Structures are given as structure tokens and as C-alpha cells.
Structure 1
Amino acid sequence: MDLPGLLAEIPGRTEAEHVFRHRDVRRPPGTGADGAAGGEPGRHRPGPRDLHALRARGGSAEVRRPPGRPVVDVHSHFFPDRFLRALMREGAAHGARVEERGGERLVWSSPHQVAKIGPVFYDVPARLQAMDRWGIGLQALSLSPPMLYWAPPALGRDLARTFNEELEAICRAHPDRFVALATLPLQDVDGAVAEVARAARAGCRGVYVGTNVNGRYLDAVEFAPLYDAAARLRLPVFTHPLNNAGEDRMDRWHLGNSVGNPGETALAAARLIMSGTLDRHPRLAVVLAHGGGSLPFIAARMDHAYEVRRECREAIAERPSSYLRRLYFDTITHGDAALALLIRTAGPGRVLLGTDHPYDMADPAPVRRLRRTGLSSTAVEAISRRNARRLLRLDGAA
């Protein structure tokens, strides 16, 4: 597999560039958006100089869809075209807008976040081509942060439905390549519950939420109706870091992402555990992004606090670390040792392959990383496809 070629920038197109609060920047892998989900272990992984040299030569790779069973990617992002038009039409009064500049689109999805995106973010043929380059058979599509929580409730409901209906249409047209994770207007819980029911009838196989809703974390009691509905409909709740705690002190070096995202995910998960929320909703399936962030590493410290601090035992009867085997996690850890720790802590049945495609913080070769952990071929197969197919009921389970 020619990984430098797969990671090289698509000629003539910068696929994505994100500028967050404090002007933090995200770009696709190697400043392009291609990579490989699978591949042979032990091959050279290109560094920035390799990629720069390849681009300077105008290099590209002939990409063939890899043989074997297709991997399932549970963590990717997409902006349907109709949703972008609705955002352009309705969001301007609230700081959200879309502009065309030089053949690229700039999307202000809130007053604080702007994304420069290329076709792989909103054009289905371009996405399918990129998936084939990455070796991805089926991809779960979801909205990028900051979700829609910035909008007034009525606008949030309308935009959520527009987004979800577009994903549903894409999935009906390509049922073997895409599955939809519904976005929700969680600033209006009743509206969110109604949208969950509608989206489930339309074929969505999960819901996608931020770790907090305008500062209210997911253990807040007002979200209980959502969890009841999701459990009843057998829809897993995928969580993604959002409005990270302490982000005002992470204004440089992309720390808001590299440090803030893992910490925010761990904080949200710890609150779900320690508050007893998971015990009150035992049938609820929760999926944590980015390998659960720092949660697997700090679980033992949480256990110690549970033993020595009475308040840590008020709402739960088991050690906090035991709950990691009740949660689900994607594989996006960016480190072999970190991924091995996650799998050892949560168990291989609770880990799902994810990439974060098409952003620069994506993992371009997750199957290769799985193989390097020394897992059996059965475990690699489970994590790369079977666990997700079971959780998302992709094989005909009612």
C-alpha cells in the first residue's frame, strides 16, 4: 500500500481547514484529506517532509478499494448541501453563514467556528471516492461540532430535521456505504425526543450529541427523556467533545483539540458514571469519541477516589472503572499503547473503529494500528466491523 500517495493532497483542492475560537486551525492529513484505514503493518508512515516532497512532484496514487470485508467507520463528519443552504438562509441572524470563495466553501456554523471545506465534506461522489482511498466500506455520517445548540429552539429543530432528512436520503441511495447518526436540537429536549422518534422511523441508527449543551452536561436530569427514548428505540448515543472545559486556556498549539477534546470527553463520561445516570438507564448504549479521551488512563484514579471519598459512593455501587465495560469507544487514540490500554480496559467487544474523516486529526490507518496491538484476527475483525454492525443493527436485527 502506497500510504504516502494515499495521504497526499488531492490535486488542486484543500479539503478542509478549520479555524476555531482563538484561531486554532485544523487541516486534513498531510494537508489533504486522503489516507488509508487498512494496510499492511510495518510499512513506512510518511512524515511532513515525505508528503511535501510528493506534492511538490505532483505525485498521486492509483487507489484501489482493498479486498476483504469492508471496515465500518463510526466517526466521520458530513455537511449535506441542503443543510448548508438552510444554514445560509436561516442562520445569518445568529452568526451562522456559508460563503463561496475561490471554489471552496466557508461555513460559519456558529459565531465562533468557521470551516473551509472542499467537496469531500458535502459531495457524495467525492466522499465515496475518499472512502475507497481510505479503505472504508461503510461510514456513519454525523454533524461536526458545535452541533446546533447555538440556535433558538425553533431554528434548531428545523435545521436538525433538514440535516437528518438529507442524511436519510443519502443512506437510502447508498445503503451499503452509509448509515445516519441523527443530530438533535438538545436546547429543546421535547423537540429532540420528537426528532429521535421521527429519525428512527426514517432509518437513522443512532444519535449524535455534544458532551454538553450550552454548558449543561449530559448527566443533567432534563436529558432523561432522551435516554429513555434512545434506549427504547435501540439507538446508541454517540458523544463528541464540545465547548471544552478550560478551552480559554488552550488558545495555542491546537491544544483545544489535542488536550481539550480528550479531557472534555473524560469529564462528560465521568459525570455520566458518577451521577448514576448509566445505572438509571441500564439499556442505554453510549459511545465515546476519541477512544474515550483520557478516561481509560484516569479510571484507576477514579477508583481510588471511590474508595477514600464518601461522596464518590453516593450514587453508584460499583467502582467507576467497571463502567468502562458498559460504554463503547471508538479507536481514535493516535497511539498504539493508548489503543491497547483502551482495549484491555473496556474489552474488545466495546471498541469500534473510527477515523474522524475527513479532518486533519483523523487516524488514516486504524486497522494497521489494531494489528500492531497484537490482537487476534478475530478481535481485529470484531473492532473493525462486527461490533459496529451489531450495535447499529446493520445486519437485519430489528
Structure 2
Amino acid sequence: MAGRGRIDFHTHFVPDIYRETLAAAGIASVGRVPFPQWSLDGLFEGMEQLGIARSLLSISAPGVDFGDPVLAIDLARRTNDLLVQLKADHPGVIGGLATLPLPDVPAAMAELARLEGSGLEGVILLTSSQGRYWSDPVFAPLLEMLDAKGALVLLHPGVPAGAEALGLTLPPPILEFVFDTTRCVAEMIFTGIFDRYPNIRWVLSHLGGTLPFVAWRLSMMEHSPRPAYAEFNARGRSVQSYLKRLYYDTAVSAGPASLDAALSLVGPERLVFGSDIPFLPFAFAQKTLAALEDYEWLTPEARDAIDFGTGGKLLEVGAL
């Protein structure tokens, strides 16, 4: 198992090759949130401030899909190679979650195959790609490949299709991100994705969005006679049984009410630490960490599980 230092499953990096490619495509923000500055020195400073011993770096939304499939393949390859190098340069301190050039499923599978033996700990997948969620059959071959590997997958929200057209005051990452995670996972439950691909180890960003709050509401479908839920009900499993199989990171979600809901649903053994830096400024990350540390209902054993115990066990299983 990993040492007793905090393991961060939700750390992003915005290297120059990524920022410059986005800038050339006219993209300077995600959901009206500007891309933050990123440097290795800044990462290490933040890790020290937050008591993080190991960070799993990943590219955040919008990933590498800007409407140019060739560019997406090249950018995924370059950022993944940089992750591999950073991991090699800082063993045991930096890890990486690979980016795949979706929605091109064959290209994503080719990149996943290319990374075999790279040592990267897993992959990051956005909740949807060009309006398609993981319940869409087009993604089945990739899910089969991830399942065969028993891959670790961080499920990260993106800006859902049509969100900007609503003209809402708040930028989409504030609320639409957590709604999109909820929508994605609910679809996977009711369409049998978790049954067909049981070996993928899913970590849900931001305590699973609003899933802890709406889990009881979703459970009402277990008793519905409507045809839409017939396939789900034929499997004879509860919504909560699926949610208990998943893992949840604490990024931007350490408030008492959020933790109450998540812990009552799945318990501390399914929670891992996440900071969301540098998209979340260090000062804000320190506030969320303080809220987690001040949460009075966690035993020392439960705190250790969230900080490093559960994450350490996940990382023991193996890399790509």
C-alpha cells in the first residue's frame, strides 16, 4: 500500500503544449472559466500546502476534441507522453491519467493500446462526448477494452451540450458539471453499463455530482411498472448497490451536507481525496481541505481511508 501521505486523484495539469494548441484553436476557457497557469514548481508548492504526497495528473475538460480528429490524436499522444515523462522523473510523487482522443473510438483504443506498459495509473473520461454519454452503444468497444484491463477511470464532467445556449449567469462548471456527472452515471445504471463492464474501477469527480442527494429519488424506479425500467428491474439490483460499487473524490465537495449524504450512501471506504487544483485556486482548495478535516463525524480510521488508504489500494491493483 502507498505510504501515509495524502493521494490526490483529481489534480489537473495545463502544460504549454496543451495551452498553445487550445489558443491556436481560439479556446481560452472551459465554460467561461479561464485556463489556469500551471507549472511543475507550482504543483509541488500546492502539494506541500495541501499535504499531498502523490498526485495523479490529468487533462481536464474540454479534453482534446476541438472538431479536428487528427489534432485530437496528436494532442492526446503528446500530453500522454509528457505525463509518462513526468511520472518517470518523479516516481511515487507524480502519476498520470491518460487522455483519449474521443469521440473517435478506434483512435482512443489505439492510444490506450499504445500506452500499455507506460505505467500511467489509468485514464480520465469526460461524462459525454459531442452529446453522447457512455450508455451510447458507440462506446462499447472502448468500454470492453477498459474492462479487460480492469482500468482505473476518473469520470470527469464537461460542459453538456446546449448549456451555454441557456444564457445562465453562473458559468457551467459551477452547477452543470455536477448535473452532468449525475446524468451520466444514472444513464449507466439504468442501461446496464456497470453490469456489462464490471471490472472498470470508476472514480466519480466531486462526490459524484448530485448522486448522493438524488439516490433515493432514483431508487423509486426500482418499483416502477413502466416499460422504460423493465430491463433495469429484471436485473433485480438496487440503485444503491450500483452506487456502492463506485468511488468518489472529494474535490470541491467537502461541505458537511455533501459529506453527510455521501457517507450515508457509500461510507468512507469509497471516498478518495481530490483537490481539483489548479482549476480550483490553492486558497479555495485549502478551504475545502479544512472543511474535510473539520468534519466531526469521521473517525481517524475513516480520515486515513479517504486520505490514502482507499486510494492506495486502488493503485496497488496495477497500471495501464
2:289 is the alignment partner of 1:354: no
2:263 is the alignment partner of 1:263: no
2:249 is the alignment partner of 1:335: no
With CA pairs under 8 Å and 6+ residues apart, which has the higher RCO, 1 or 2? 2
Amino acid at match of 2:238: R
With the length of structure 2 as denominator, give the TM-score of the two structures: 0.88
Within the candidate set 359, 365, 381, 2:304 is matched to 381
Q: CA deviation at 1:360?
A: 3.3
In structure 2, C-alpha distance between the alignment counterparts of 1:138 and 1:344, rounded to whole Å:
28
Matching residue of 1:300: 216
Query: As a proportion of its length, which structure holds more helix?
Result: 2
Q: 1:367 touches 1:380 (CA, 8 Å); kept in 2? A: no
Q: CA deviation at 1:249?
A: 6.5
Q: 2:122 touches 2:319 (CA, 8 Å); kept in 1? A: no
2:209 is the alignment partner of 1:313: no
Q: CA deviation at 1:141?
A: 0.5
- Indicate the structure (1 or 2) with the bigger Cα radius of gyration: 1
Q: CA deviation at 1:289?
A: 0.7
* Distance change in 2, residues 1:249/1:158 (3 Å): closer
Q: CA deviation at 1:116?
A: 4.8
Q: Which segment drifts farther, 126-135 or 138-147?
A: 126-135
Within the candidate set 108, 118, 122, 2:28 is matched to 108
| 1:174-323 equivalence runs, <5 A | 174-244=90-160, 247-248=163-164, 251-254=167-170, 256-310=172-226, 311-315=228-232, 316-323=235-242
In structure 1, C-alpha distance between the alignment counterparts of 2:166 and 2:94, rounded to whole Å:
35
* Distance change in 2, residues 1:385/1:367 (3 Å): farther
1:19-53 CA distance string (max 9 Å, x none): xxxxxxxxxxxxxxxxxxxxxxxxxxxxxxxxxxx
Q: 1:331 touches 1:351 (CA, 8 Å); kept in 2? A: yes
Matching residue of 1:390: 313
* Distance change in 2, residues 1:116/1:276 (3 Å): closer
Aligned residues: 311
In structure 1, C-alpha distance between the alignment counterparts of 2:173 and 2:16, rounded to whole Å:
26
* Distance change in 2, residues 1:397/1:162 (3 Å): closer
Matching residue of 1:70: 5
Q: 2:50 touches 2:289 (CA, 8 Å); kept in 1? A: no
Q: 2:99 touches 2:125 (CA, 8 Å); kept in 1? A: yes
Q: CA deviation at 1:275?
A: 0.5
Q: CA deviation at 1:265?
A: 0.7
Amino acid at match of 1:292: G
* Distance change in 2, residues 1:197/1:217 (3 Å): same
Q: 2:272 touches 2:311 (CA, 8 Å); kept in 1? A: yes
In structure 2, C-alpha distance between the alignment counterparts of 1:145 and 1:397, rounded to whole Å:
23
Taking only the aligned residue pairs, the percentage that are identical comes to 32
The two structures, once aligned, show a CA RMSD in angstroms of: 2.5
Q: Which segment drifts farther, 157-166 or 194-203?
A: 194-203
In structure 1, C-alpha distance between the alignment counterparts of 2:90 and 2:290, rounded to whole Å:
23
* Distance change in 2, residues 1:379/1:393 (3 Å): same
Q: CA deviation at 1:291?
A: 0.5
In structure 1, C-alpha distance between the alignment counterparts of 2:69 and 2:51, rounded to whole Å:
39
What residue ranges of structure 1 are gaps of 5+ in the alignment?
Answer: 1-67, 97-106
Q: Which segment drifts farther, 334-343 or 161-170?
A: 334-343
2:14 is the alignment partner of 1:79: yes
| 1:33-44 equivalence runs, <5 A | none
Dislocated runs of 4+, deviation >3 Å = 82-85, 248-253, 360-363
With the length of structure 1 as denominator, give the TM-score of the two structures: 0.72
What residue ranges of structure 2 are gaps of 5+ in the alignment?
Answer: none
Q: 2:33 touches 2:171 (CA, 8 Å); kept in 1? A: no
In structure 1, C-alpha distance between the alignment counterparts of 2:124 and 2:177, rounded to whole Å:
16
Q: 2:121 touches 2:319 (CA, 8 Å); kept in 1? A: no
User: Matched residue of 2:236: which SS?
Assistant: coil
User: Matched residue of 1:259: which SS?
Assistant: helix
In structure 2, C-alpha distance between the alignment counterparts of 1:221 and 1:146, rounded to whole Å:
22
* Distance change in 2, residues 1:363/1:200 (3 Å): farther
In structure 2, C-alpha distance between the alignment counterparts of 1:307 and 1:366, rounded to whole Å:
39
* Distance change in 2, residues 1:345/1:373 (3 Å): farther
* Distance change in 2, residues 1:379/1:273 (3 Å): same
In structure 2, C-alpha distance between the alignment counterparts of 1:337 and 1:113, rounded to whole Å:
27
| 1:129-208 equivalence runs, <5 A | 129-208=45-124
Amino acid at match of 1:189: V
In structure 1, C-alpha distance between the alignment counterparts of 2:310 and 2:166, rounded to whole Å:
35
